[in-house]
Structure 1
Amino acid sequence: MTITVLVVDDEPIARHAIVRLLRDDAEVELVGECGDGATAAEAIRRHSPDLVFLDIQMPAMTGIEVVAAIGAGRMPATVFVTAYEQHAVHAFEINAVDYLVKPFSRDRFQLTLRRAKARLAPQGDPGGTSARVLQALDELRHRDDWLERIPVRVDEHVVLVDVDDIVWIRANRNTAQIHLANRTYELRETMTSLSERLNPRHFARVHRSAIVNVRRVKTIHPWFHGHHVVVMDTGQELRMSRYQHEAFLRLATTRGDVKSAR
Protein backbone atom coordinates (compact mmCIF):
# COMPACT_ATOMS: atom_id res chain seq x y z
CA MET A 1 0.00 0.00 0.00
CA THR A 2 1.28 3.44 -0.95
CA ILE A 3 0.06 6.41 1.07
CA THR A 4 0.33 10.04 0.03
CA VAL A 5 1.61 12.44 2.69
CA LEU A 6 1.67 16.22 3.17
CA VAL A 7 4.01 17.81 5.75
CA VAL A 8 3.07 21.13 7.37
CA ASP A 9 5.36 22.97 9.81
CA ASP A 10 6.52 26.59 9.94
CA GLU A 11 9.91 25.53 11.36
CA PRO A 12 12.14 24.40 8.44
CA ILE A 13 14.30 22.14 10.64
CA ALA A 14 11.32 20.23 12.00
CA ARG A 15 9.67 20.05 8.56
CA HIS A 16 12.82 18.75 6.89
CA ALA A 17 13.32 16.15 9.65
CA ILE A 18 9.87 14.69 8.93
CA VAL A 19 10.45 14.77 5.18
CA ARG A 20 13.80 13.03 5.54
CA LEU A 21 12.30 10.22 7.63
CA LEU A 22 9.38 9.79 5.23
CA ARG A 23 11.72 9.40 2.28
CA ASP A 24 13.21 6.33 3.95
CA ASP A 25 9.85 4.57 3.65
CA ALA A 26 9.07 2.93 0.28
CA GLU A 27 5.34 2.90 1.07
CA VAL A 28 5.16 6.70 1.32
CA GLU A 29 4.73 9.21 -1.48
CA LEU A 30 5.42 12.80 -0.41
CA VAL A 31 3.02 15.13 -2.24
CA GLY A 32 4.27 18.37 -0.72
CA GLU A 33 5.47 20.38 2.25
CA CYS A 34 4.10 23.66 3.55
CA GLY A 35 5.45 26.31 5.90
CA ASP A 36 2.19 28.03 6.81
CA GLY A 37 -1.45 27.24 7.45
CA ALA A 38 -3.00 28.99 4.46
CA THR A 39 -0.75 27.13 2.01
CA ALA A 40 -1.48 23.90 3.88
CA ALA A 41 -5.26 24.29 3.56
CA GLU A 42 -4.88 24.92 -0.17
CA ALA A 43 -2.56 21.91 -0.58
CA ILE A 44 -4.94 19.61 1.31
CA ARG A 45 -7.80 20.61 -1.00
CA ARG A 46 -5.65 20.24 -4.11
CA HIS A 47 -3.83 16.97 -3.35
CA SER A 48 -6.31 15.20 -1.01
CA PRO A 49 -3.43 13.37 0.73
CA ASP A 50 -4.03 10.24 2.75
CA LEU A 51 -2.04 11.57 5.71
CA VAL A 52 -0.99 15.02 7.00
CA PHE A 53 1.70 15.84 9.53
CA LEU A 54 0.33 19.11 10.90
CA ASP A 55 2.06 21.56 13.22
CA ILE A 56 -0.32 23.02 15.81
CA GLN A 57 1.37 26.36 16.54
CA MET A 58 1.98 28.39 13.39
CA PRO A 59 1.75 32.17 12.90
CA ALA A 60 -1.23 33.71 11.05
CA MET A 61 -3.09 30.39 10.72
CA THR A 62 -2.64 27.63 13.31
CA GLY A 63 -3.04 23.91 12.78
CA ILE A 64 -6.36 24.10 14.61
CA GLU A 65 -7.52 26.76 12.14
CA VAL A 66 -6.40 24.59 9.21
CA VAL A 67 -8.66 21.79 10.49
CA ALA A 68 -11.50 24.28 10.91
CA ALA A 69 -11.00 25.57 7.34
CA ILE A 70 -11.08 22.08 5.84
CA GLY A 71 -13.62 20.62 8.28
CA ALA A 72 -12.70 17.77 10.65
CA GLY A 73 -14.97 15.40 8.72
CA ARG A 74 -13.07 16.10 5.49
CA MET A 75 -9.57 16.17 6.98
CA PRO A 76 -7.19 13.39 5.94
CA ALA A 77 -5.74 11.20 8.66
CA THR A 78 -3.69 13.64 10.75
CA VAL A 79 -0.63 13.43 12.95
CA PHE A 80 -0.35 16.57 15.05
CA VAL A 81 3.14 17.94 15.68
CA THR A 82 3.51 20.03 18.81
CA ALA A 83 5.92 21.56 21.29
CA TYR A 84 3.20 21.64 23.97
CA GLU A 85 3.99 18.47 25.83
CA GLN A 86 1.82 18.99 28.90
CA HIS A 87 -1.53 20.13 27.58
CA ALA A 88 -1.76 19.21 23.90
CA VAL A 89 -0.44 15.71 24.45
CA HIS A 90 -3.03 15.12 27.17
CA ALA A 91 -5.81 16.20 24.80
CA PHE A 92 -4.49 13.93 22.04
CA GLU A 93 -3.93 10.92 24.27
CA ILE A 94 -7.37 10.82 25.86
CA ASN A 95 -8.92 11.04 22.41
CA ALA A 96 -6.51 8.53 20.80
CA VAL A 97 -5.18 11.03 18.26
CA ASP A 98 -1.69 10.51 16.89
CA TYR A 99 0.90 13.16 17.71
CA LEU A 100 4.62 13.96 17.78
CA VAL A 101 6.34 16.18 20.35
CA LYS A 102 9.26 18.18 18.98
CA PRO A 103 12.05 17.24 18.95
CA PHE A 104 11.21 13.58 18.34
CA SER A 105 13.41 10.52 17.87
CA ARG A 106 13.49 8.26 14.82
CA ASP A 107 11.92 5.45 16.87
CA ARG A 108 9.05 7.67 18.04
CA PHE A 109 8.43 8.82 14.47
CA GLN A 110 8.38 5.25 13.16
CA LEU A 111 5.87 4.25 15.86
CA THR A 112 3.58 7.14 14.90
CA LEU A 113 3.86 6.32 11.19
CA ARG A 114 2.99 2.66 11.84
CA ARG A 115 -0.11 3.73 13.76
CA ALA A 116 -1.16 6.01 10.92
CA LYS A 117 -0.69 3.23 8.37
CA ALA A 118 -2.79 0.87 10.49
CA ARG A 119 -5.66 3.35 10.49
CA LEU A 120 -5.36 3.84 6.74
CA ALA A 121 -5.35 0.12 6.00
CA PRO A 122 -8.56 -1.35 4.50
CA GLN A 123 -9.45 -3.01 7.81
CA GLY A 124 -8.56 0.15 9.75
CA ASP A 125 -10.73 3.05 10.84
CA PRO A 126 -9.80 6.10 8.71
CA GLY A 127 -13.14 7.85 9.16
CA GLY A 128 -13.43 7.16 12.86
CA THR A 129 -10.76 9.68 13.77
CA SER A 130 -12.90 12.73 12.92
CA ALA A 131 -14.83 12.75 16.19
CA ARG A 132 -11.65 12.18 18.17
CA VAL A 133 -9.89 15.04 16.37
CA LEU A 134 -12.82 17.36 17.07
CA GLN A 135 -12.80 16.46 20.75
CA ALA A 136 -9.03 16.96 21.08
CA LEU A 137 -9.11 20.30 19.28
CA ASP A 138 -12.04 21.45 21.38
CA GLU A 139 -9.95 20.80 24.48
CA LEU A 140 -7.04 22.72 22.97
CA ARG A 141 -9.28 25.70 22.22
CA HIS A 142 -10.26 25.84 25.87
CA ARG A 143 -6.62 25.57 26.87
CA ASP A 144 -5.78 28.67 24.81
CA ASP A 145 -7.29 30.87 27.52
CA TRP A 146 -4.04 31.18 29.48
CA LEU A 147 -3.50 33.66 32.26
CA GLU A 148 -2.28 37.09 31.17
CA ARG A 149 -2.53 38.81 34.55
CA ILE A 150 -2.74 37.32 38.05
CA PRO A 151 -4.74 39.15 40.74
CA VAL A 152 -2.85 39.12 44.04
CA ARG A 153 -4.28 40.55 47.27
CA VAL A 154 -1.86 42.91 49.05
CA ASP A 155 -3.22 44.27 52.33
CA GLU A 156 -6.57 45.86 51.45
CA HIS A 157 -6.15 46.05 47.68
CA VAL A 158 -5.51 43.78 44.69
CA VAL A 159 -2.44 44.00 42.46
CA LEU A 160 -2.70 42.68 38.89
CA VAL A 161 0.61 41.01 38.08
CA ASP A 162 1.45 40.73 34.38
CA VAL A 163 2.63 37.15 33.75
CA ASP A 164 5.31 38.42 31.37
CA ASP A 165 6.94 40.19 34.35
CA ILE A 166 7.22 36.95 36.35
CA VAL A 167 10.78 35.63 36.61
CA TRP A 168 10.01 32.47 38.57
CA ILE A 169 7.48 30.97 40.98
CA ARG A 170 8.25 29.06 44.16
CA ALA A 171 5.93 26.64 45.93
CA ASN A 172 5.42 27.29 49.62
CA ARG A 173 2.96 24.71 50.99
CA ASN A 174 -0.48 25.83 49.74
CA THR A 175 0.73 29.17 48.42
CA ALA A 176 2.86 30.26 45.47
CA GLN A 177 5.52 32.94 45.78
CA ILE A 178 5.62 34.97 42.57
CA HIS A 179 9.06 36.46 42.02
CA LEU A 180 9.40 39.54 39.82
CA ALA A 181 12.67 41.33 39.12
CA ASN A 182 12.23 43.76 42.02
CA ARG A 183 9.70 42.23 44.42
CA THR A 184 7.81 39.11 45.49
CA TYR A 185 4.08 38.46 45.88
CA GLU A 186 2.38 35.61 47.67
CA LEU A 187 -0.64 33.99 46.05
CA ARG A 188 -3.00 31.69 47.93
CA GLU A 189 -3.01 28.98 45.27
CA THR A 190 -1.19 25.68 44.93
CA MET A 191 1.63 25.32 42.43
CA THR A 192 -0.24 22.58 40.57
CA SER A 193 -3.36 24.69 40.16
CA LEU A 194 -1.39 27.74 39.00
CA SER A 195 0.76 25.78 36.55
CA GLU A 196 -2.36 24.47 34.79
CA ARG A 197 -3.40 28.06 34.03
CA LEU A 198 -0.02 29.25 32.71
CA ASN A 199 0.88 28.98 29.03
CA PRO A 200 3.21 25.94 28.78
CA ARG A 201 5.01 27.61 25.89
CA HIS A 202 6.20 30.34 28.25
CA PHE A 203 6.48 28.59 31.62
CA ALA A 204 8.23 25.36 32.54
CA ARG A 205 8.60 23.39 35.75
CA VAL A 206 12.28 22.86 36.55
CA HIS A 207 11.67 21.38 39.98
CA ARG A 208 8.62 20.20 41.91
CA SER A 209 8.77 23.48 43.84
CA ALA A 210 9.85 25.86 41.05
CA ILE A 211 8.38 27.15 37.78
CA VAL A 212 10.38 29.51 35.56
CA ASN A 213 9.48 31.95 32.83
CA VAL A 214 11.35 30.45 29.86
CA ARG A 215 11.83 33.89 28.31
CA ARG A 216 13.71 35.00 31.42
CA VAL A 217 16.19 32.09 31.44
CA LYS A 218 19.74 33.11 30.56
CA THR A 219 21.71 29.85 30.74
CA ILE A 220 21.49 26.26 31.95
CA HIS A 221 24.61 24.84 33.62
CA PRO A 222 25.35 21.17 34.37
CA TRP A 223 25.70 20.40 38.07
CA PHE A 224 26.18 17.18 40.07
CA HIS A 225 24.61 13.74 39.50
CA GLY A 226 22.63 14.72 36.41
CA HIS A 227 21.16 17.87 37.94
CA HIS A 228 21.44 21.30 36.31
CA VAL A 229 21.32 24.91 37.44
CA VAL A 230 19.05 27.40 35.68
CA VAL A 231 20.32 30.99 35.69
CA MET A 232 17.65 33.66 35.26
CA ASP A 233 18.27 37.06 33.68
CA THR A 234 18.10 38.57 37.17
CA GLY A 235 21.04 36.44 38.29
CA GLN A 236 18.85 34.11 40.35
CA GLU A 237 20.12 30.51 40.24
CA LEU A 238 17.65 27.63 40.56
CA ARG A 239 18.39 23.92 40.76
CA MET A 240 16.74 21.84 38.05
CA SER A 241 15.64 18.31 38.80
CA ARG A 242 17.32 15.79 36.51
CA TYR A 243 13.88 14.41 35.67
CA GLN A 244 12.80 17.81 34.30
CA HIS A 245 15.92 18.58 32.26
CA GLU A 246 14.97 16.83 29.02
CA ALA A 247 11.45 18.27 28.94
CA PHE A 248 12.71 21.76 29.73
CA LEU A 249 15.42 21.71 27.05
CA ARG A 250 12.81 20.55 24.52
CA LEU A 251 10.72 23.60 25.30
CA ALA A 252 13.61 26.03 25.56
CA THR A 253 15.44 25.01 22.39
CA THR A 254 12.19 24.99 20.40
CA ARG A 255 11.86 28.66 21.31
CA GLY A 256 15.52 29.21 20.49
CA ASP A 257 16.00 31.56 23.47
CA VAL A 258 18.11 29.57 25.87
CA LYS A 259 21.75 28.54 25.74
CA SER A 260 22.81 25.41 27.59
CA ALA A 261 26.33 25.75 28.93
CA ARG A 262 28.50 22.68 28.49
Structure 2
Amino acid sequence: MKIAIIDDEPLAISSLRRMIENIPATAIVGSARSAASAMHLCEARQPDLVLLDIEMPQMDGMTLARELKQAGNPLVIFITAYDRFAIDAFDVEAIDYVLKPVDPDRLRGAIERARSRLSLRPLMQAVESAALRLHSAAPHPPETPEQPVYWANVGGRTIRIPIADIRHVEACRDYAFIHTGRDRHMVRETMARLETAFEGTALQRIHRSHIVNLDRIQAVSRDTGLRLVTLDSGEEIPVGRRFYGRLVDAIDIAASS
Protein backbone atom coordinates (compact mmCIF):
# COMPACT_ATOMS: atom_id res chain seq x y z
CA MET A 1 0.00 0.00 0.00
CA LYS A 2 1.40 3.39 -1.04
CA ILE A 3 1.01 6.05 1.65
CA ALA A 4 1.53 9.82 1.58
CA ILE A 5 1.83 11.97 4.73
CA ILE A 6 0.48 15.53 4.70
CA ASP A 7 1.18 17.66 7.78
CA ASP A 8 2.64 21.13 8.26
CA GLU A 9 4.73 19.95 11.25
CA PRO A 10 8.04 18.22 10.36
CA LEU A 11 8.15 16.39 13.71
CA ALA A 12 4.69 14.95 13.10
CA ILE A 13 5.78 13.69 9.67
CA SER A 14 8.90 12.07 11.15
CA SER A 15 6.88 10.39 13.89
CA LEU A 16 4.35 8.97 11.43
CA ARG A 17 7.16 7.73 9.18
CA ARG A 18 8.68 5.74 12.04
CA MET A 19 5.34 4.14 12.91
CA ILE A 20 4.53 3.22 9.31
CA GLU A 21 7.94 1.61 8.81
CA ASN A 22 6.84 -1.06 11.32
CA ILE A 23 3.66 -1.90 9.40
CA PRO A 24 4.14 -4.65 6.78
CA ALA A 25 3.28 -4.13 3.10
CA THR A 26 3.34 -0.33 3.27
CA ALA A 27 5.52 2.15 1.41
CA ILE A 28 5.74 5.90 2.02
CA VAL A 29 5.78 7.60 -1.39
CA GLY A 30 6.34 11.10 -0.03
CA SER A 31 5.26 13.83 2.35
CA ALA A 32 4.01 17.38 2.00
CA ARG A 33 3.58 20.36 4.31
CA SER A 34 1.10 22.42 2.29
CA ALA A 35 -2.01 21.87 0.18
CA ALA A 36 -0.27 22.81 -3.06
CA SER A 37 2.59 20.39 -2.41
CA ALA A 38 0.10 17.71 -1.41
CA MET A 39 -1.84 18.01 -4.67
CA HIS A 40 1.38 17.82 -6.68
CA LEU A 41 2.55 14.80 -4.68
CA CYS A 42 -0.72 12.90 -5.11
CA GLU A 43 -0.96 13.64 -8.82
CA ALA A 44 2.63 12.48 -9.37
CA ARG A 45 2.85 9.47 -7.04
CA GLN A 46 -0.82 8.30 -6.91
CA PRO A 47 -0.84 7.08 -3.27
CA ASP A 48 -3.48 4.58 -2.16
CA LEU A 49 -3.83 6.28 1.22
CA VAL A 50 -3.20 9.76 2.59
CA LEU A 51 -2.57 10.54 6.27
CA LEU A 52 -3.88 14.08 6.45
CA ASP A 53 -3.69 16.77 9.13
CA ILE A 54 -6.68 19.13 9.38
CA GLU A 55 -5.22 22.38 10.74
CA MET A 56 -2.87 23.59 7.98
CA PRO A 57 -2.08 26.96 6.39
CA GLN A 58 -3.61 28.06 3.06
CA MET A 59 -6.16 25.23 2.88
CA ASP A 60 -7.56 23.11 5.72
CA GLY A 61 -7.49 19.32 5.57
CA MET A 62 -11.25 18.95 4.99
CA THR A 63 -11.13 21.12 1.89
CA LEU A 64 -7.99 19.38 0.68
CA ALA A 65 -9.63 15.95 1.11
CA ARG A 66 -12.38 17.02 -1.32
CA GLU A 67 -9.79 18.32 -3.79
CA LEU A 68 -7.83 15.05 -3.65
CA LYS A 69 -10.75 13.26 -5.32
CA GLN A 70 -9.45 14.90 -8.52
CA ALA A 71 -5.90 13.64 -7.86
CA GLY A 72 -6.34 9.87 -7.93
CA ASN A 73 -9.02 9.81 -5.21
CA PRO A 74 -6.84 8.24 -2.48
CA LEU A 75 -8.38 6.97 0.75
CA VAL A 76 -8.00 9.42 3.65
CA ILE A 77 -7.22 9.00 7.35
CA PHE A 78 -7.27 12.26 9.30
CA ILE A 79 -4.50 12.72 11.88
CA THR A 80 -5.31 15.68 14.12
CA ALA A 81 -5.09 17.04 17.65
CA TYR A 82 -8.73 18.15 17.59
CA ASP A 83 -11.82 15.97 18.02
CA ARG A 84 -14.35 18.64 16.96
CA PHE A 85 -13.97 17.82 13.25
CA ALA A 86 -14.99 14.15 13.56
CA ILE A 87 -18.48 14.58 12.07
CA ASP A 88 -17.09 16.59 9.14
CA ALA A 89 -14.65 13.74 8.47
CA PHE A 90 -17.51 11.41 7.64
CA ASP A 91 -18.90 13.98 5.20
CA VAL A 92 -15.76 13.53 3.09
CA GLU A 93 -15.90 9.72 3.50
CA ALA A 94 -12.71 9.46 5.52
CA ILE A 95 -11.65 5.94 6.53
CA ASP A 96 -10.78 6.96 10.10
CA TYR A 97 -10.06 9.86 12.45
CA VAL A 98 -6.95 9.42 14.63
CA LEU A 99 -6.15 11.88 17.41
CA LYS A 100 -2.67 13.16 18.24
CA PRO A 101 -0.53 12.10 20.02
CA VAL A 102 -0.87 9.10 17.73
CA ASP A 103 -0.90 5.65 19.30
CA PRO A 104 0.99 3.22 17.00
CA ASP A 105 -1.58 0.44 17.48
CA ARG A 106 -4.42 2.84 16.75
CA LEU A 107 -2.69 3.94 13.55
CA ARG A 108 -2.01 0.35 12.53
CA GLY A 109 -5.71 -0.51 12.96
CA ALA A 110 -6.76 2.47 10.85
CA ILE A 111 -4.34 1.54 8.07
CA GLU A 112 -5.57 -2.06 8.08
CA ARG A 113 -9.15 -0.80 7.67
CA ALA A 114 -7.97 1.24 4.71
CA ARG A 115 -6.25 -1.84 3.27
CA SER A 116 -9.53 -3.81 3.53
CA ARG A 117 -11.44 -1.02 1.81
CA LEU A 118 -8.80 -0.83 -0.91
CA SER A 119 -9.05 -4.56 -1.59
CA LEU A 120 -12.77 -4.18 -2.31
CA ARG A 121 -12.32 -1.46 -4.94
CA PRO A 122 -11.68 -3.78 -7.93
CA LEU A 123 -14.69 -5.89 -6.96
CA MET A 124 -16.97 -2.85 -6.66
CA GLN A 125 -15.72 -1.47 -9.96
CA ALA A 126 -16.35 -4.84 -11.65
CA VAL A 127 -19.87 -4.99 -10.20
CA GLU A 128 -20.64 -1.45 -11.35
CA SER A 129 -19.25 -2.18 -14.83
CA ALA A 130 -21.28 -5.40 -15.12
CA ALA A 131 -24.44 -3.66 -13.93
CA LEU A 132 -23.90 -0.91 -16.50
CA ARG A 133 -23.46 -3.46 -19.31
CA LEU A 134 -26.57 -5.37 -18.26
CA HIS A 135 -28.58 -2.17 -18.10
CA SER A 136 -27.42 -1.17 -21.58
CA ALA A 137 -28.22 -4.58 -23.07
CA ALA A 138 -31.60 -5.13 -21.40
CA PRO A 139 -34.79 -4.08 -23.20
CA HIS A 140 -36.24 -1.03 -21.52
CA PRO A 141 -39.93 -1.09 -20.56
CA PRO A 142 -42.07 2.01 -21.10
CA GLU A 143 -40.98 4.73 -18.75
CA THR A 144 -43.01 5.19 -15.60
CA PRO A 145 -42.54 7.88 -12.98
CA GLU A 146 -39.84 6.78 -10.57
CA GLN A 147 -40.58 6.75 -6.88
CA PRO A 148 -37.79 8.52 -4.95
CA VAL A 149 -35.65 6.28 -2.75
CA TYR A 150 -32.88 6.73 -0.20
CA TRP A 151 -29.90 4.33 -0.22
CA ALA A 152 -28.84 3.87 3.41
CA ASN A 153 -25.59 2.33 4.69
CA VAL A 154 -26.82 0.01 7.44
CA GLY A 155 -24.64 -2.56 9.19
CA GLY A 156 -22.15 -2.94 6.35
CA ARG A 157 -24.90 -3.15 3.71
CA THR A 158 -26.46 -0.54 1.45
CA ILE A 159 -30.23 -0.90 1.51
CA ARG A 160 -32.99 0.71 -0.55
CA ILE A 161 -35.62 2.65 1.40
CA PRO A 162 -38.50 4.24 -0.56
CA ILE A 163 -39.00 7.83 0.60
CA ALA A 164 -42.74 7.19 0.92
CA ASP A 165 -42.00 4.49 3.53
CA ILE A 166 -40.03 6.82 5.78
CA ARG A 167 -42.20 8.14 8.60
CA HIS A 168 -39.61 10.29 10.34
CA VAL A 169 -35.88 10.58 11.09
CA GLU A 170 -34.37 11.44 14.46
CA ALA A 171 -30.81 12.41 15.32
CA CYS A 172 -28.75 10.61 17.96
CA ARG A 173 -25.28 12.16 18.36
CA ASP A 174 -23.22 11.12 15.32
CA TYR A 175 -25.98 8.83 14.06
CA ALA A 176 -29.57 9.06 12.89
CA PHE A 177 -32.49 6.64 13.11
CA ILE A 178 -34.70 6.28 10.04
CA HIS A 179 -38.18 5.12 11.07
CA THR A 180 -40.38 3.34 8.54
CA GLY A 181 -43.72 1.69 9.13
CA ARG A 182 -42.07 -1.55 10.33
CA ASP A 183 -38.37 -0.94 10.92
CA ARG A 184 -35.86 1.43 12.45
CA HIS A 185 -32.53 1.77 10.61
CA MET A 186 -29.46 3.34 12.23
CA VAL A 187 -27.18 5.25 9.84
CA ARG A 188 -24.00 7.23 10.46
CA GLU A 189 -25.18 10.51 8.92
CA THR A 190 -25.60 14.09 10.09
CA MET A 191 -29.02 15.73 9.94
CA ALA A 192 -27.61 18.41 7.63
CA ARG A 193 -26.45 15.78 5.17
CA LEU A 194 -29.77 13.91 5.34
CA GLU A 195 -31.67 17.16 4.86
CA THR A 196 -29.71 17.74 1.65
CA ALA A 197 -30.28 14.14 0.50
CA PHE A 198 -34.06 14.51 1.03
CA GLU A 199 -34.33 17.87 -0.74
CA GLY A 200 -37.24 17.94 -3.19
CA THR A 201 -39.09 15.10 -1.42
CA ALA A 202 -41.86 15.04 1.19
CA LEU A 203 -39.27 14.69 3.97
CA GLN A 204 -38.97 18.04 5.75
CA ARG A 205 -36.73 19.06 8.63
CA ILE A 206 -38.85 20.48 11.46
CA HIS A 207 -36.37 20.46 14.34
CA ARG A 208 -32.59 20.28 14.77
CA SER A 209 -33.08 16.61 15.68
CA HIS A 210 -36.11 15.61 13.57
CA ILE A 211 -37.14 15.20 9.93
CA VAL A 212 -40.72 14.13 9.16
CA ASN A 213 -42.67 13.00 6.12
CA LEU A 214 -45.22 15.73 5.32
CA ASP A 215 -47.58 13.10 3.91
CA ARG A 216 -47.70 11.41 7.34
CA ILE A 217 -48.68 14.54 9.31
CA GLN A 218 -52.20 14.44 10.74
CA ALA A 219 -52.11 17.59 12.88
CA VAL A 220 -49.97 20.55 13.88
CA SER A 221 -50.63 21.93 17.35
CA ARG A 222 -49.37 24.32 20.00
CA ASP A 223 -49.59 23.59 23.70
CA THR A 224 -48.37 26.30 26.09
CA GLY A 225 -45.88 27.44 23.47
CA LEU A 226 -44.70 23.97 22.52
CA ARG A 227 -45.24 23.20 18.83
CA LEU A 228 -45.92 19.59 17.85
CA VAL A 229 -46.83 17.57 14.78
CA THR A 230 -48.86 14.39 15.13
CA LEU A 231 -48.09 11.63 12.62
CA ASP A 232 -50.53 9.04 11.29
CA SER A 233 -48.92 6.56 13.70
CA GLY A 234 -49.97 8.72 16.65
CA GLU A 235 -46.40 9.83 17.42
CA GLU A 236 -45.90 13.45 18.43
CA ILE A 237 -42.75 15.17 17.18
CA PRO A 238 -41.55 18.59 18.42
CA VAL A 239 -41.20 21.47 15.97
CA GLY A 240 -38.27 23.86 16.43
CA ARG A 241 -39.10 27.54 16.55
CA ARG A 242 -36.91 28.43 13.57
CA PHE A 243 -38.43 25.58 11.49
CA TYR A 244 -42.09 26.34 12.22
CA GLY A 245 -42.64 28.92 9.47
CA ARG A 246 -41.02 26.69 6.87
CA LEU A 247 -43.22 23.78 7.97
CA VAL A 248 -46.40 25.84 7.63
CA ASP A 249 -45.34 26.99 4.16
CA ALA A 250 -44.55 23.39 3.13
CA ILE A 251 -47.92 22.14 4.35
CA ASP A 252 -49.70 24.93 2.48
CA ILE A 253 -47.85 23.97 -0.72
CA ALA A 254 -48.66 20.28 -0.19
CA ALA A 255 -52.31 21.03 0.46
CA SER A 256 -52.68 23.14 -2.68
CA SER A 257 -50.83 20.74 -5.02
What TM-score does the superposition give when structure 2 sets the normalisation length?
0.44
The structure that has the greater radius of gyration is: 2
More helix by share: 2
